[in-house]
Structure 1
Amino acid sequence: MLAVNDAACRLFGFNREDANRVYRQDVLDNNDPRLHQLLLQRKQFGAAKGEVTGILPGGERFPCEYSSVQFFTDAGEHRYCTEITDIRKWKMAEEHIRQSEENLRAIFNHTVEGFVLVDTELEIVASNDKADELIFQHANGNKVKAGNSLLDYLPEDRRPVFKMAASRALAGEAIAYEKAYPAADGSLRWYCFGINPVQEQGKITGLCVSGRDITLQKHAEEKLINSEKRFRGLVENNSDAIAILSAEGKIGYISPAGEKITGYTEAEATQLDALIIVYHGDLPTVQQIMAAILAQPGIPVNTGAIRIVHKDGTLRWVEATLTNMLHDPVIDGIINNFRDVTARVESDLKLQAAQRHIELSEEKYRKIFNLSPLPKWIYDTETLCIIEVNEAAVKHYGYSREEFLSMTIMDIRPAEDSVALTDVLQTLTDKAYKPTNYWRHLKKDGSVILVEITGHPIDYVGRRARMVICRDITEQIKAETSIIQSNERFRLAAKAASDAIWDWDIVNKLVWIGEGFSSLFGYAEAGEMVAIDWILDRLHPDDQPEVLLRINAVLDGELTTRWQDEYRFEKADGTYAIISNNAMVIRGEQGQPLRMIGAMKDVTHQKAEEHHLRLPNQ
C-alpha cells in the first residue's frame, strides 16, 4: 500500500505510517475466489467492483465491498485506487459509496487515456473527459454523452472498420491497433486504440474503448531507428570489424567486415560462441584476456596477434581491442574491434624463421645426430624425404649417408606396412609422437628389425620436418616373431583354399580378402586390404539391410562368437552369386569385438539344383 485513509486505519487497526508495510493479503482473504476474479477484471478493463471477504484484526473475516480502479500518474506509472467497505453498516456505507464514486470519477477523468464504456448495441454508458480528445478526434466538437451511439461520433469512413472490430471484441477478442491522424496545426499525431470486452458474471455485456496519444513514443522510436541507421552506416563501411559479445563470449552482433575476416555471415556468427573460432593453441591466452576485461569495465585491452579458424578451415591472424561495456545499458556487451593482420604476422614469422636459421650452426646438428648412440634422422613432412641422418643410423641399417638422403621414410619399411604408416602420418600434429607399438624396418641386407620410434616436430632450414629417434627392440619382442609367422601361414592357407577367406579388422574398418575373391568372384583386389565398405557395397541391395542387422546382432551379443548367413554377392562381371558365409568373432578382454574371420562359399549351383528338385514333374 502507498497511502491509506483514516477509515482504513480504523477498520483494519494500523497507522498511516505503517501503510507501506501492509499488503493486500493482510486485509483481504486471498482464498476468496471472488477476489481473484475482480483482480482479473481490473487488469482487463481498468476497474473492478464486487463483494469479497475482509480480515479484521485478530483474523476475524467479514463481508465487504471491494472497489478498485487503475490510473496513471503524470510520470506514466500504474497505480490502483481501492476502497473496501464494511457492508454490515449500510447507513455509513451509503456515504462511503457516494464519496467513492466521486473519487473514482476524479481519477477516471485524470488518467492519460480516454475511456468509453458501451453496451452490446454500441450505446454509450459512460466515458471520461479524455474520451473527446483521445478517441473522437473528428467529432466536430460534439461532447460525448451517455445514451448516444458511439458511431455518431465517428466519421463515415471509420464506422465500417470500427463495426468489424467491435464484432470481434463482442465475441471475446481483445483488439489493439495504432493509427495516425492530422492535428489542427497540420502535424501528424499517433494514437493507440483498444477495444476490450466487458464481462459480468461470465457474460459479455459491453465494450471498453480506450485511446492513448503515443506521438512522443513514435518520435522516440523514429529517432532510435535513425540513430541505428547512422551507426550501421559508420560501422558497415569500416575496414576494421566490430563485434559485440556477451559476458560469456556469445556473439550478439558482427559487422560486414567481420564476415570477410571470419567467413561467417552475421546470422551464422550470432549462433556461435566467439571462443569456438579461436585457434586452440591461443585459447588459454584469450581466456586470460577475457577475465581481465570482465574485471576492468570501460578499459580497452589489446590482445596482440592471435589465431582464429576461418569458416573454410584456414588459420587467420587477427589483432583485437576489447572494451567491457556491459555496464552501459545501451550497449550491454563487450565491444570487440578487430582486424586481419595475417599478412603482417606471416611476414614477421618468416623473418623470425630466417633469423633462427642463421643462429643454428653445424655444431648443433652434429651434436644432435652424430653424438647420439641411437639411430636418428630428419624427414620433410611434406615429401617424406630423409634430409638428415646420423652415424648411428648409417652403421645400424647398413645404408650409406648418400643412400639415406636419396630415400623416403617409406623406403625403409616393408611395402605391406605403407598403409598403416600413411594412416599414422595423417593423425600427426605439431606435438611429439610417442611410441604406442613397434614398427618394422628394413636394413640394407633385407633383414627386418623391430623398432620403437619417437618423433619431434622441428623447423629444419626453413622446412617443416620431424626428427625421428629409433630404438631396435627386436630382441625384446622375439615373441612377436611367432605371431608374424602365424599370420603368414594363415595367408598361405587362405591362398590355397577354394573358399573366399576374409579377415575383418573391426576397429580400423579394414578387411583382408583372400585369393578366393579372385577365383570365385573375379576381383583383382584379392590378397589385399580393402575398406569394409568395399564388401558392403557388393551385397545385393535387397539383402543388405537384413545381413547388416544379423551381423550387428552377433557383434553386439558378447557371448556370441559365430555367424553364418546366406545372401547374394556381386561378382566382378556385375552378376550375383548366392554365397554361404561362415565366420568367427574374436573379442577383447572386455568382450568388445576386435576381428571377424570367415570364409565365403559360392552355393549358386547348389541352390539352383535344390530349386529344380522342388519343382513338380512335368
Structure 2
Amino acid sequence: MDALDASTLREPARIAALRRTALLDSPPEEAFDRLTRLAFNALGTPVVLVTLVDADRQFFKSSIGLPEPWASQRESPLSHSFCQHAIASGEPLLIEDAREHPLVRDSPAIAEMEMIAFAGIPLRTAEGHTLGAFCAAYHAPHHWQQTEMDMLKEFAAATMHEIEIRDTLRRLAHERLPAEAALRRSEQEFRALIEKAWDIIMVQNADATIRYISPSVQRVLGYTPQEMTGRSATDFLHPEDAPWVGKMFREDMQHPGVQRFLEVRLRHKDDSWRTVEIVGQVTADPAGEPIGIVNTHDITERKQAEEALRQKTATIELLESVAVAANEASTIEDALRPCLARVCDYTGWCLGHVYLRDPAGNLVPTRIWHPVDPEHYRAFRDVTEQMPFGPGVGLPGRTLASGKPEWIVDVTKDSNFPRAEAARESGLLAGGAFPLLVGSEVVGVLEFFTDHAIEVDASMLEVMAHVGSQLGRVVEREQAKDALRRSEQRTRAIIEMAHDAFVAINSDGVITDWNAQAESAFGWTRAEAMGRALTETIIPPQYRDAHQKGLEHFLATGEHRVLNQRFEIEALHRDGHAFPVELTISPIKTDAGYAFTSFLHDISERKQAEQALRRSEERYELVSRATSDVIWDWNITRGELTWNNAVQTAFRYRPEQVGTTLEWWYNHIHPEDRERVVTGMHSAIDGIGDVWSDEYRFQRGDGSYAAVLDRGYVVRNEMSEPLRAIGSMVDITARKQEEEAQRFLAQASALLDTS
C-alpha cells in the first residue's frame, strides 16, 4: 500500500458529501449503535467503530471499546487515524500488527488507543465518495479471516444503507412540507372564518352538549364561549321552542348530512330573548362520533324592526283616531402491504398484519395482511378483524404500552393473548409485534406469526424496531393528509351553511371561492364565478376604480381603511340591479401573498324596514304638530312617557319641567281625583279592553288646576299583552266653568221662583 495521499482526504467533493449527511458532531443514535453492537457480538472484537473522516480529524459516530478520553471526546486528530489510509486508497485496510505496518507503525494510536490489529471497510456513497470506515480492532496481533472480512463488509453496507435512508427521509420530509403548509393555511382560514364570522358557529355532541361555540356568541347572547361550552344547548332555548327543537335534533342525529333551517328564540345573558335563524347539519368528528354543526344568525334586529314597524303603524292609526291620524405512497395500504410481504420473505414468517391507533389511543385492526388471500388462516383473520386492543392488552397492546418489540414463543399458551383459540385452530404458534413510531409515539403495530415455535434473538428485534420507526413516517404523512382533508371539509361545510354570501379572492382580485348563498345573492353559479375578476362580477362600475386602488395600496404598503370592520356598500347582481349589503373583509397572509375573504349580507329588507319606520315617525310627528290637543305616548314595556309640545302651551310648563315617567303624571293629578283616575287607567290596561277615558283635574305649571278630558288607547301584542298606551288630553276648564255657571243660574232661578 502506498504512502498517504492527503489530497484525497481534502477533496472538496468528498468533504461536501460528508457535510450533507449532517452526521459530523451529531449525538449518538440507536440506529448506528445497534450496528456496532451487532458487530461486537458477531465478531468478538474488543473495539468496533463507525468512523467519519473529515479534512483534519476523524469523528466516531458510534463506538464500542475505545479508551478514555477518546470515548467521551468522540473524535481524534488524523495523527491517530488508521481509517484515513482506507479513505485515501478507497480499499479495505487490514493490519495484523500495527507496530510492524509501514503506514501506521509510528501512529500514537498504538500506545494511546491500544490498537494493534485493525480492519477498516470504506463507507462509499453511490457517487463514489468515501465518507469514513466501519472498523474493528484488537489489542494484540490478529490474523483476519475471510469470514470476518465478509461480515465487516456486510456491516459497512448496512451502515451506508442507514445513511442513504436518512438522505431519503430528508427528501421525503421536504416533499411533505407543501402538504403541511397547506394544512396550516387551511387551519388558518378555518380559524379566520370562525373568529371573524358575524354568525355564531356551534358544535354539539349527540346529547346536545355544546362542544365548541365561536366568540361571536358574546356579541349576540352576552355569554362568553367558556360560559356556554359544556352546557346543553336546550338550556338556552325558549321553553316553547325547546321540545320541538330537541325532537328534530334527535331525529337528525339518526340521519347525518340532512340540513335543517329553523327560526327559534335563544336566551340572552340579561334574560331577554333573541330571535335567530339556524342552519344545522349532523356530521362526524375525527373519532367517528356524530356531532351537529350549527350556524346561528341573529335576526332580532330585523324582527324588532318589523315589530317596530307594526307597532308604529298601529300608533299612527291610533293617533289618527284619537287626535288627527304611523409521501410517496398514495395510501397507507400501498406502503404497508408490500412491507409485510418483504418481512415475511426475509424472516420466513408466514403471516403479517397491521394495527393502527385510533384517536382514542387504542389499536384497531386493518385489513392489511400478507398473504393477501383471505382463505389463508381464515379463522385467525376473522377474529383479528373484530378485535381492537387497548394499551397492555394482548400482543399488540403490549407493544402499544411499551413502545418496544414483543415476541411470544407460543401464543396458544400465553395468558395475555385473547386470540389463542383462533391461533390454535389456524395452526399458528409463535408471534411478535413491532411498533410503528413517529418519534417516540406509537402510531401503529406490525404483527407477525409463524406456524412453529421459535425464539427471535435481540438483533432481529432491533432490526424490526428499525423497520417500524421508518414505516411510522408513512402513517404520519397519511395523518397529515387526513387532517388537511378534514379541515378543508369542515371549512367548506361552514361556508356552505352560512346564511350570508361568502366570497374569497386572491391578491390579483380573482374570485377563488363562492358559496351557495353567493349564487343566490348575485345570480352567478359557482362554476361561472370562479376565476372571474371580482370587480367585473359584483362591484358596481362607480366603485371599481376605488376598489382596485385600495387593493393595490394595501398590497404595496399594508395600510387599509376598511379591512376587519363591518361596513355597508352597494353590490351588483348579475341582472344589473344594485342592492345594499353589509360585509366584513378579512386579509389572510399566504405563501403566495394575500388572500381576502368576506361574508356579505343582503340588507335590502332591513333598509326597506328602516325607511318605512322613518316615514311612520315623520307621519307621527306631523300628526302631533297638527293638533292643539296634548298628545301623550306611554311605552309600557320600558316605562317611558313622552308628550308633544302642546303640553307646554296648554298647561304653561317650560320644556325642562315636563317629566318622562308615569310618576310625573300621577303627581300632577289632583289628590282628590288621583286614586280614581289611576285605578281606572290600570283597570283598562290589565283588562281586555282597548279604550280608556276620564275627566279630572290636572295641575298647571303655575300650580293651578285645569279640568281635562283624557282619552287613551291601549296597544297589545298577539298574546293580548299591553305594549303601549297612546292618548290625548283636552283642557275643558272653560266648559266646566260654563256648566258650573249654568247650574248656579238654574239654582238661583229656582230659588227666585219659589220666593
TM-score (norm 2): 0.32
Bigger RCO of structures 1 and 2 (CA < 8 A, at least 6 apart): 2
Structure 1 or 2: more strand by fraction: 1
TM-score (norm 1): 0.38
Structure 1 or 2: more helix by fraction: 2
